C-alpha cells in the first residue's frame, strides 16, 4: 500500500523488503509463490521491469534458488523469498551458493511448521534451519530485523554483507512482520550500509573469496563448481586443500562476527533480569518490560538483529551481568539453547516463554514470567 | 586449417575423468567445433551443467563454466541468461540429470522458449553413480537397480521437449560426429530453446550389463539403430522397434523468445512510469501558484 | 492515546479494505498507524479480520490488547475474533449475519449493514464504505473529512461517488439504531 507523507511511508513488511532490495541495487528476483512471502514477489514483479531489472517466477522453489545463483554469477544482485516448505526445498542450492561463494539474499517469512504447518500464521521455528539447513560444514549470515525501519535497513545491509563476505545472507522475518503495514520513515543513505556495485567489493573483500573473485563474462573464463575446489576454482580431493577451503568458508564469517553483530539493548544497565529475544516477540518483550519497570522491577531487553553468526561473547557477558534470563520465542527453545551454549554452565536462571499455534506471544505472558522470576530471586 | 583445440580446452585439466571410449568426448568436441563455427567469442559463452558424467564437461573447456547441482543446470542457466541476455548460454546434461531429477526444469525451459541450447547426452543409464536405470533406459534392460530387467517405460526426450514447447529439437548419435556438429550448430544459431539429444554409449555401466561391453561395438550398435528422418516415416511400427529417428525433428519460428518478451514488457513498464511522471508534472504545472502573504509580484 | 480497531467478517466483504483505509487516513494525518490482517485458511468465505492500531506515540506491541471498536459481519468471524473485548469496547454487528453474541457487558450497535448497502448503493461491494461511515461516527479518531479524502484518493476510478454515498449511509445509520445490551439482543433474536 502506498501513502508517502514527508518521507514517512505506510508499507507492509514484505513490501519494505522489496523496496529496500531495490534501494540496495537488487536487479534480479527469482521466486515461487508461497504464503506468507508472496507479496515480495508480487511487488517486485511490478517494480523490477520498471527499473530495467529482471523478475522471473520459476517452476518451483529449487529452480528459483538456482536462477538466483545463476543471475548472481551473471553479475546481478539477486534476491529470492520463500517460507517454510520452500525454505526446505531451497537448502541444497543455498549450500551451493555457500560453497561457490555466490553473493545473494534469501528471505524466509516464517510460518508454522513442520511440513505444511500453518501457512498463514507466524512462527520462528526455522532459525536453526537457517544455520544448519544445508548439508556440510559452513557458516552463514542470518539477520532478524523486527521494526519496519530495521526491516528496511537490514535488507540493504544483507546485500552489502553478501557481497562483502561472498555468501548467501538469509533474512528471517515472520508472518506478522511480513503482513503488518506500519508508518515509518525511510532511512537516508547515511543511515544505511554501503550501496556499491560488485566491482567495489573487489578492493574490500577479495580476501573473502577463496575462488577467483570475478563473475562470468568478465574475460576471466572462471570455473564455478559445487565440488570442493582449489583457489583457482577447479575440483580437487586433496585433503589439505579441501580442509583449508572449508576453514576459509567458516572463518571468513566467524572471525568477523563482531563486525557483523547488531543487537538492540534496552534498559539493561541496571537490569537483574534480561529478556533475550529476536523478531516479533521483541515487541511484546518491550511492552512487558515497560510495565515491569513501572512496578520497580529491574528488567531489560536484549534483542538480536544478527542471529547468525551468534553473538556468543556478548550474550556470555550479559549472562554474567544478570541473575535471570527470560527467552520468549515462537518455537520450543531454539534461541534459549544458543543462550545456554553461550552461558557455558554459568549460574544463571534460564526461563523460556514458548508459544506455538500461530498466535503471537503477548506482553502479559512475558510479564507473568518476569514476575515469577522476580519472586524467586 | 586444422581446428585449434588448444584455444578451446583447458589442457591443464587433463586427463579427464571419462572412461576410455566414452561418447561424451565426441559430443564435447562437436560442441566446441560448433561454437567456433558460429564465430562465438569464448568470453560470451556461459557453459552450464548439473551432476553426472556429462556434467564434468565444463571443467575441460576454456570459457565461463558452471558446474551446478543435480538436475538444476537449466535453472542456473535461466538466471544467467536473464541477467545477461546478450550472452550465449549452453547447457550439457545427461539423461538422468535432465529427464529425472531435472525433468520439471526441462519442460519449463521448453515452455518459456528461453534462448538456451541444451545438449542431452543420452547413454540410457546413470553412469557416475554406478549403473542405475534412468528414465531413458529401455524396458527389459539390466541395470544396477534393475537386476531382473527394467520394468519402467522410457521417455522419448525429443517428443517430450517438442510437446513441452522447445522450438528446435534434433537428435544425433556419437557414431557420426560430423552430422552431430551440424545439428548442434543449428541449435546454437537458433533463437529460442533448442535441444539436441545425442544417443551415446556407456559401455562401462550399460553395455557391460547388456551384452555390449566393447565401446566401439556399442557405438556401432547405437549408430545402426539410427534412421534418417526422411526414412523414419516409411517404417512400420514393427520396424521402428528399437530404432530412433535422427536429424532436425522440429524447428519452428512462431513462438516469442523469453528474454525478448521480457524486454518488451520491461520497456512497456518503463514507458508507463514515464507517462505517469509526465501526468503528475503536468497536473503540478496546472495548479494555481499561491504567493505567500506579502510576497512580491512577478514583474515582466 | 492508543486506539484499537478491528473489522471482522468473511473474506470478500471488503473488511480488509476498510481497515486499510482507516490506517492510511491515520498515517496521512501524521499519526503512527499499524494495520495487520489475520488470514484464516481461505480468504474467500473464511473468517477474516483486520486490526488497526493508531497512536500519537510509538506503537510498541503490534497486536490488540484492549479493543476500542469491533465491527463484525459474520457469525463465524464473531466466534474467531470477538476476543480482546473490554467493557467499554464499541461493538457493531449486522443482525442478519451475526445472531449469537453470547454474554458480555458491552453495548452493541445492531445495524443491518448489508441491507443498508443494498438499499442505498445497490451493490454489496460498497459494504466497506458503509462500515467506515459507522466507524467514523462512533469513534473519534479520524475526522470525517480525512476519511472522505482517503476514499476519494483510493477508491477505484468510477466508484468514488458510490463509495461516498455508502460512507454517508453508514454515518447516518448510527442515529437510527441505538445500542442495546447483549441480553436484550439475545431476546430480540428469540422473538424472530
pLDDT band of C42, cuts 50, 70, 90: low
Tell me whether residue A155 is in a domain: yes
pLDDT at B287: 78
In C, minimum Cα distance to A178 occurs at C36
In C, minimum Cα distance to A184 occurs at C32
Cell of C63: 497486536
Contact of C30 with chain A, judged by CB distance below 8 Å, is answered with yes
Interface of B with A (CB under 8 A): 10, 13, 42-44, 46, 48, 58-59, 62-69, 72, 75-84, 87, 104-105, 108, 262, 265-266, 268-270, 272-273
Residue where one domain finishes, among candidates A181, A199, A217: A199
**pLDDT value at C22 more than 80:** yes
Tell me whether residue A246 is in a domain: no
Mean pLDDT of B252-275: 97
Kind of pairing, strands C47-55 and A54-57?
A: unpaired
Determine, for residues A290 and C27 on separate chains, whether the beta-carbon distance falls below 8 Å: no
pLDDT band of B300, cuts 50, 70, 90: very low
**Which of C36, C48, C58 to mutate to probe the A interface, most A CBs <10 Å?**
C36
Per residue in B19-42, pLDDT (tens digit) is: 999 999 999 999 999 999 999 999
Determine, for residues A63 and B66 on separate chains, whether the beta-carbon distance falls below 8 Å: no
pLDDT at C156: 92
What is the rounded CA–CA span in Å between residue A326 and residue A351?
5
Per residue in A32-71, pLDDT (tens digit) is: 999 999 999 999 999 999 999 999 999 999 999 999 999 9
**pLDDT value at C189 more than 90:** no
Cell of B205: 555401466
Sign of the torsion angle spanned by Cα atoms A124, A128, A131, A133: negative
Which residues from chain B sit within 8 angstroms of residue A69, using beta carbons? 68, 76, 79
* Domains in chain C with CATH codes: 3-191 (3.40.920.10)
Kind of pairing, strands A141-143 and B168-173?
A: unpaired
Mean pLDDT of B194-204: 98
Kindly write down the DSSP assignment for every residue of B109-137, as one continuous string: HHHHT-SEEEEEEE-SSBTTTTSB--TTS
State whether A184 and A40 are in the same domain.
yes
Q: Are A361 and C62 in contact (CB under 8 A)?
A: no
Instruction: Say which residue the cell 553483530 belongs to.
Output: A261
For residue A114, say if its preceding peptide bond is cis, omega within 30 degrees of 0.
Answer: yes
Determine, for residues B82 and A72 on separate chains, whether the beta-carbon distance falls below 8 Å: no
pLDDT at B2: 86
Determine, for residues A183 and C31 on separate chains, whether the beta-carbon distance falls below 8 Å: yes
Rg (CA), chain A: 21
Residue where one domain finishes, among candidates A199, A221, A254: A199
- Find all residues with CB under 8 Å of C51, minimum gap 6, and list them: C4, C5, C6, C19, C35, C36, C37, C38, C63, C64
**Percent of chain A at pLDDT exceeding 70:** 98
- Residue B223 CA: distances (Å) to CA of A319, A342, B89: 74, 66, 29
Instruction: Report A:275-304 residues touching C (Cβ under 8 A).
Output: 283-284, 286-287, 290
For residue A309, say if its preceding peptide bond is cis, omega within 30 degrees of 0.
Answer: yes
Contact of A96 with chain B, judged by CB distance below 8 Å, is answered with yes
Contact of C28 with chain A, judged by CB distance below 8 Å, is answered with yes
- Residue A90 CA: distances (Å) to CA of A129, B177, B287: 11, 39, 53
pLDDT at C123: 87
- Find all residues with CB under 8 Å of A115, minimum gap 6, and list them: A85
In A, minimum Cα distance to B9 occurs at A221
State whether A269 and A363 are in the same domain.
yes
Q: How far is A327 from chain C (nearest CA, A)?
A: 17
Which residues from chain C sit within 8 angstroms of residue A363, using beta carbons? 61, 65
Tell me whether residue A129 is in a domain: yes
Instruction: Report A:176-235 residues touching B (Cβ under 8 A).
Output: 216-219, 221-227, 234-235
Which residues from chain C sit within 8 angstroms of residue A180, using beta carbons? 34-36, 62
Mean pLDDT of B6-18: 95
pLDDT band of A1, cuts 50, 70, 90: very low
**Which of B43, B52, B64, B114 to mutate to probe the A interface, most A CBs <10 Å?**
B64
Of the candidates A51, A75, A93, which has its C-beta nearest B84's C-beta?
A: A75
State whether A161 and A272 are in the same domain.
no
What is the rounded CA–CA span in Å between residue B117 and residue A184?
48
What SS3 class is residue B256? coil
Select from B136, B134, B185, B139 the least CA-distant residue to B160: B136
Determine, for residues C59 and A182 on separate chains, whether the beta-carbon distance falls below 8 Å: yes
Tell me whether residue A58 is in a domain: yes
Select from A76, A8, A73 the least CA-distant residue to A233: A73
Contact of A264 with chain C, judged by CB distance below 8 Å, is answered with no
**Which of B7, B76, B262, B271 to mutate to probe the A interface, most A CBs <10 Å?**
B76
**Which of C23, C54, C59, C62 to mutate to probe the A interface, most A CBs <10 Å?**
C62
Of the candidates C31, C32, C60, which has its C-beta nearest A286's C-beta?
A: C60
Determine, for residues C36 and A180 on separate chains, whether the beta-carbon distance falls below 8 Å: yes
Kind of pairing, strands B244-251 and B168-173?
A: antiparallel
CATH of the domain at A335: 3.40.50.920
Of the candidates B69, B105, B268, which has its C-beta nearest A59's C-beta?
A: B105
Q: How far is C142 from chain A (nearest CA, A)?
A: 16
Contact of C51 with chain A, judged by CB distance below 8 Å, is answered with no
**Which of A26, A217, A227, A232 to mutate to probe the B interface, most B CBs <10 Å?**
A217
pLDDT at B297: 44
Residue where one domain finishes, among candidates A199, A224, A247: A199
Q: How far is B42 from chain A (nearest CA, A)?
A: 8
Give residue A174's domain range. 8-199
- Strand order across the beta sheet in which A299-304 lies: A263-266, A299-304, A273-278, A324-329, A349-354
- Residue B78 CA: distances (Å) to CA of A97, A167, A277, B122, C109: 16, 21, 40, 22, 58
Interface A–B counts its CB contacts (< 8 A) at: 144
State whether A47 and A169 are in the same domain.
yes
Contact of C32 with chain A, judged by CB distance below 8 Å, is answered with yes
Stated pTM of the model: 0.95
Tell me whether residue A238 is in a domain: no
Q: Of B55-69, B271-285, C33-47, which has the strongest mean pLDDT?
A: B55-69
What SS3 class is residue A284? helix
Determine, for residues A54 and B262 on separate chains, whether the beta-carbon distance falls below 8 Å: yes
Q: How far is B131 from chain A (nearest CA, A)?
A: 22
Which residues from chain A sit within 8 angstroms of residue B53, using beta carbons? none
pLDDT at B193: 98
What SS3 class is residue A376? helix
State whether A191 and A276 are in the same domain.
no
Determine, for residues A181 and C35 on separate chains, whether the beta-carbon distance falls below 8 Å: yes
CATH of the domain at A170: 3.40.50.970
Select from A29, A27, A116 the least CA-distant residue to A65: A29
Chains touching A (at least 3 CB pairs under 8 A) are B, C
**pLDDT value at B295 more than 60:** no
pLDDT band of A108, cuts 50, 70, 90: very high
State whether A151 and A268 are in the same domain.
no
- Residue C79, classified by CB atoms within 10 Å of its CB into exposed (0-12), middle (13-18) or buried (19+), is middle
State whether A13 and A160 are in the same domain.
yes
State whether A37 and A147 are in the same domain.
yes
Which residues from chain C sit within 8 angstroms of residue A179, using beta carbons? 36-37, 39
- Residue A325, classified by CB atoms within 10 Å of its CB into exposed (0-12), middle (13-18) or buried (19+), is buried
pLDDT at C185: 76
- Count: domains in chain A: 2
pLDDT band of B286, cuts 50, 70, 90: confident
Q: Is the ipTM of this complex over 0.90?
A: yes
What is the rounded CA–CA span in Å between residue C17 and residue C20?
5
Give the residue with greater pLDDT, B116 vs C45: B116
Amino acid at each position: 500500500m502506498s501513502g508517502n507523507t514527508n518521507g514517512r511511508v505506510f508499507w507492509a513488511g514484505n513490501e519494505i523488503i522489496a523496496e529496500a532490495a531495490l534501494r540496495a541495487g537488487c536487479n534480479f528476483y527469482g521466486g515461487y509463490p508461497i504464503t506468507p512471502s508472496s507479496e515480495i514477489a508480487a511487488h517486485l514483479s511490478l517494480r523490477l521491469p520498471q527499473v530495467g531489472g529482471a523478475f522471473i517466477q520459476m517452476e518451483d522453489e529449487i529452480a528459483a534458488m538456482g536462477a538466483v545463483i545463476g543471475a548472481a554469477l551473471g553479475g546481478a544482485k539477486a534476491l529470492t523469498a520463500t517460507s517454510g516448505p520452500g525454505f526446505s526445498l531451497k537448502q541444497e542450492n543455498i549450500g551451493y551458493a555457500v560453497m561457490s561463494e555466490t553473493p545473494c539474499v534469501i528471505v524466509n517469512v516464517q510460518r508454522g511448521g513442520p511440513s505444511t504447518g500453518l501457512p498463514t500464521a507466524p512462527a520462528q521455528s526455522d532459525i536453526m534451519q537457517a544455520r544448519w539447513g544445508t548439508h556440510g560444514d559452513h557458516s552463514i549470515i542470518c539477520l532478524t530485523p523486527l521494526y519496519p525501519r530495521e526491516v528496511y535497513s537490514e535488507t540493504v545491509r544483507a546485500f552489502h554483507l553478501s557481497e562483502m563476505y561472498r555468501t548467501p545472507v538469509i533474512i528471517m522475518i515472520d508472518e506478522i512482520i511480513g503482513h503488518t503495514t506500519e508508518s515509518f520513515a525511510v532511512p537516508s543513505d547515511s543511515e544505511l550500509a554501503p550501496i556499491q556495485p560488485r566491482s567495489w567489493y573487489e578492493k574490500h573483500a577479495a580476501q573473502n573469496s577463496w575462488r577467483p573473485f570475478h563473475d562470468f563474462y568478465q574475460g576471466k573464463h572462471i570455473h564455478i563448481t559445487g565440488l570442493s575446489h582449489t583457489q583457482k576454482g577447479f575440483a580437487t580431493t586433496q585433503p589439505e586443500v579441501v580442509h583449508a577451503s572449508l576453514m576459509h568458508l567458516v572463518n571468513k564469517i566467524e572471525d568477523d562476527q563482531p563486525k557483523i553483530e547488531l543487537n538492540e539493548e534496552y534498559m539493561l544497565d541496571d537490569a537483574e533480569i534480561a529478556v533475550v529475544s529476536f523478531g516479533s516477540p521483541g515487541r511484546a518483550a518491550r511492552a512487558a518490560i515497560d510495565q515491569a519497570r513501572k512496578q520497580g522491577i529491574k528488567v531489560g531487553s536484549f534483542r538480536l538483529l544478527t542471529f547468525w553468526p551468534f553473538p556468543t561473547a556478548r550474550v556470555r557477558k550479559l549472562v554474567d551481568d544478570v541473575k535471570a534470563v527470560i527467552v520468549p520465542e515462537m518455537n520450543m527453545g531454539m534461541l534459549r539453547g544458543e543462550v545456554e551454549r553461550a552461558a557455558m554452565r554459568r549460574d544463571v536462571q534460564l526461563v523460556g516463554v514458548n508459544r506455538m499455534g500461530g498466535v503471537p506471544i503477548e506482553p502479559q505472558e512475558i510479564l507473568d514470567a518476569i514476575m515469577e522470576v522476580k519472586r524467586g530471586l | 586449417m586444422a581446428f585449434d583445440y588448444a584455444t578451446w580446452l583447458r589442457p591443464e585439466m587433463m586427463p579427464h575423468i571419462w572412461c576410455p571410449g566414452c561418447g561424451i568426448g565426441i559430443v564435447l568436441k562437436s560442441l566446441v567445433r560448433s561454437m567456433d563455427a558460429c564465430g562465438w567469442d569464448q568470453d560470451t559463452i556461459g557453459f552450464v551443467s548439473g551432476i553426472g558424467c556429462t556434467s564434468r564437461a565444463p571443467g575441460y573447456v576454456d570459457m565461463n563454466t558452471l558446474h551446478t547441482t543435480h538436475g538444476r543446470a537449466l535453472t542456473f542457466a535461466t538466471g544467467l541468461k536473464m541477467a545477461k541476455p546478450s550472452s550465449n548460454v549452453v547447457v550439457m546434461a545427461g539423461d538422468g540429470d535432465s529427464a529425472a531429477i531435472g525433468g520439471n526444469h526441462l519442460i519449463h525451459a521448453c515452455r518459456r522458449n528461453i534462448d538456451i541450447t541444451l545438449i542431452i547426452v543420452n547413454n540410457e543409464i546413470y553412469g557416475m553413480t554406478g549403473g542405475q536405470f534412468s528414465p531413458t533406459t529401455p524396458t527389459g534392460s539390466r541395470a544396477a537397480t534393475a537386476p531382473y530387467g527394467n520394468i519402467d517405460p522410457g521417455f522419448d526426450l525429443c517428443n517430450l521437449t517438442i510437446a513441452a514447447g522447445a522450438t528446435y529439437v534434433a537428435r544425433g548419435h556419437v557414431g557420426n560426429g560430423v552430422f552431430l556438429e551440424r545439428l548442434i550448430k543449428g541449435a546454437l544459431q537458433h533463437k529460442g530453446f533448442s535441444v539436441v539429444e545425442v544417443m551415446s554409449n556407456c559401455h562401462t555401466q550399460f553395455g557391460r550389463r547388456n551384452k555390449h561391453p566393447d565401446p566401439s561395438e556399442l557405438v556401432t550398435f547405437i549408430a545402426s539403430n539410427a534412421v534418417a528422418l526422411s526414412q523414419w516415416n516409411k517404417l512400420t511400427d514393427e520396424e521402428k522397434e528399437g530404432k530412433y529417428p535422427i536429424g532436425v525433428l522440429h524447428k519452428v519460428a512462431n513462438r516469442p523468445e523469453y528474454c525478448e518478451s521480457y524486454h518488451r514488457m520491461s520497456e512497456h513498464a518503463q514507458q508507463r512510469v514515464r507517462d505517469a511522471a509526465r501526468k503528475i508534472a503536468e497536473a503540478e504545472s496546472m495548479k494555481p501558484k499561491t504567493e505567500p502573504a506579502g510576497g512580491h509580484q512577478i514583474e515582466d | 492515546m492508543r486506539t484499537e480497531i478491528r473489522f471482522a467478517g468473511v473474506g470478500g466483504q471488503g473488511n480488509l479494505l476498510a481497515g486499510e483505509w482507516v490506517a492510511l487516513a491515520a498515517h496521512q494525518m501524521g499519526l503512527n498507524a499499524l494495520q495487520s490482517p489475520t488470514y484464516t485458511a481461505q480468504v474467500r468465505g473464511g473468517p477474516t479480520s483486520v486490526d488497526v492500531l493508531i497512536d500519537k506515540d510509538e506503537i510498541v506491541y503490534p497486536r490488540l490488547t484492549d479493543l476500542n471498536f469491533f465491527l463484525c459481519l459474520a457469525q463465524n468471524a464473531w466466534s474467531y475474533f470477538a476476543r480482546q473485548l473490554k467493557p467499554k469496547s464499541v461493538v457493531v454487528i449486522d443482525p442478519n449475519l451475526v445472531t449469537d453474541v453470547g454474554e458480555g457487558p458491552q453495548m452493541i450497535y445492531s445495524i443491518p449493514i448489508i441491507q443498508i448497502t443494498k438499499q442505498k448503493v445497490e451493490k454489496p461491494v460498497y459494504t466497506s464504505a458503509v462500515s467506515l461511515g459507522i466507524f467514523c461516527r462512533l469513534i473519534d479518531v479520524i475526522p470525517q473529512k480525512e476519511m472522505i479524502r482517503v476514499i476519494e484518493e483510493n477508491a477505484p476510478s468510477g466508484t468514488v461517488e458510490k463509495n461516498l454515498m455508502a460512507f454517508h449511509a453508514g454515518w447516518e445509520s448510527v442515529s437510527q439504531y441505538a445500542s442495546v445490551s447483549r441480553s436484550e439482543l439475545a431476546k430480540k433474536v428469540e422473538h424472530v
